[in-house]
Amino acid sequence: MTDTEVAPATPARPSQRTSDSRRRAWVVTAMLIVFMMVNFADKSILGLAADPIREDLGLSATQFGFANSAFFLLFSIFGALGGLLADRVRPRWVLLGMVLLWSVSQAPLALGAGVAMLFASRIVLGAAEGPAFPIAQQTTLSWFPNNKRNLPSALITAGTTFGVVIAAPGLTWLITQHGWRSAFAVVAVAGLLWALVWAFVGGEGRHAVATDPDTGDDAATATGSEPTPSSVGYRRILGTRSWIGVTAGYFSTYWMVALVVAWLPSYLHDGLSYSKATSANLVALLWAVNAVALLGQAGLTGWLLRRGVSSRRARARVGGITLMVSAAGCLALGAGQHGALTVLLLVLGFGICGVMATIAVTTVAEIAPAGRRGGALGIMNGVVTTAGLIAPILVGRLVDTQGTAGYQHAVLISGVVLLLGGTAAVTLVDPDRDRRRLAQ
């Protein structure tokens, strides 16, 4: 071979670009974890400050339940609309606008507003936060192929947990020392700081618009059976048994989330007779257990998928069985099983059911084409978050009419909801089957 025939060295740019893309993927994921932390710190304030808010504003338990449910009045609708919008507008800018709006919406409460503004602020906050979870998931999943989505998706979901784990003791101290209005000021400032950083580092990955068989995104892609946005409408996706099954399972999870955020501190203090400090610590413990469960589920599901186990077994059955275990914990608590087992039953009933959120998101992302992913996730979120509209009012009504026994009956009802959700997940969900049908 002559000098002129020597092949030039291959430039290292593709490898460097891959490394930069991976680094950017995890930077964006980290930002979205913090995004969800702030999001759930916002939600937790009313539950943590329930007693001083009710005393200061003269609210009955039912009225306070309505104040919590006011948050969900537009939450579900805007969750669906925001997901559809994110299929047409870059999610980066949608997320930025949402954070700015929800930070501003809390300013009146920090500055001394009364009952009317409490309701108005919670309605606006709910509208601004409605699309948060599906769009955050859509954005982070756009950076990863299907077989690597479990961990980042679980971390985004765990961000909700981290937010409350940090917020519960911190905001409780702040409320005790400086009044409940100071908590609204702190979370509003935190949202504004996040928005400032996101404006510079936010963005979407290449899996937002296409799948990549070389990275193991989806076996269907390699065979040409990947459904495309033009061939699959939202109605077909929403009509699949998998979408229906994970939505039902996720609904039961969100039912529990709504109870934890709005009523768990009061249930622990008034219903189970724990001190306020112990109640705050138990709230943090349950959210911490939820984080461990989420990450454990991500590891187990990823391991099963890499070993060739179907998504139906690796995702849906893991999530469905977990919901059934949670149902057993709630039914035991509601039946009056207290004493030494109380903390264990609280962990089972309230601490592990959150795993279904990640499973629902990754399952929908698996069956929906990239161009329909935001809408499919957003509509699912809109449906499941109606639980947040119903549950707080129901508990408030039960407490007003039955006293502390109302908490016990609410936990029994929650056990039944979890059991139904787990059964739906186990029996209906089969992503491989439904993806093939959508590709036809």
Tens digit of each residue's pLDDT (9 = 90 or more) over 108-159: 777 777 777 788 888 888 888 878 878 888 888 888 876 677 788 888 877 7
Query: Backbone phi, then psi, for 89, in 5-degree steps?
Result: -120, 145
pLDDT at 221 over 60: no
For residue 209, the 8-state DSSP code is T
Could you write out the DSSP letters of every residue in 383-424? HHTHHHHHHHHHHHHHHHHHTTHHHHHHHHHHHHHHHHHHHH
CA separation for the pair 127, 254 (Å, rounded): 17
275-308 pLDDT tens trace = 877 887 888 788 888 888 988 988 898 889 888 8
Alpha helices in 179-314, H assignment, sequence order: 180-201, 219-222, 234-238, 241-262, 264-266, 276-306, 311
Q: Using CA atoms, how far apart are residues 116 and 67, in angstroms rounded to an integer?
A: 10
- How far apart are the C-alpha atoms of 388 and 72, rounded to whole Å? 6
CA distance 303 to 151: 11
pLDDT band at 342 (very low <50, low <70, confident <90, very high): confident
Tens-place pLDDT, residues 58-68: 877 777 777 77
What is the topology classification, in CATH, of domain 25-202+234-439? Growth Hormone; Chain: A; (1.20.1250)
pLDDT in tens, 411-430: 999 999 999 999 999 999 99
Q: Return the amino acid letter for 384.
A: V
Q: How far, in Å, CA of 333 to CA of 414, rounded? A: 11
Other Cβ atoms less than 10 A from the Cβ of 5: the count is: 6
Cα four-point dihedral sign 140, 146, 148, 150:
positive
Q: What is the pLDDT of residue 171?
A: 81
CB atoms within 10 A of CB 115: 14
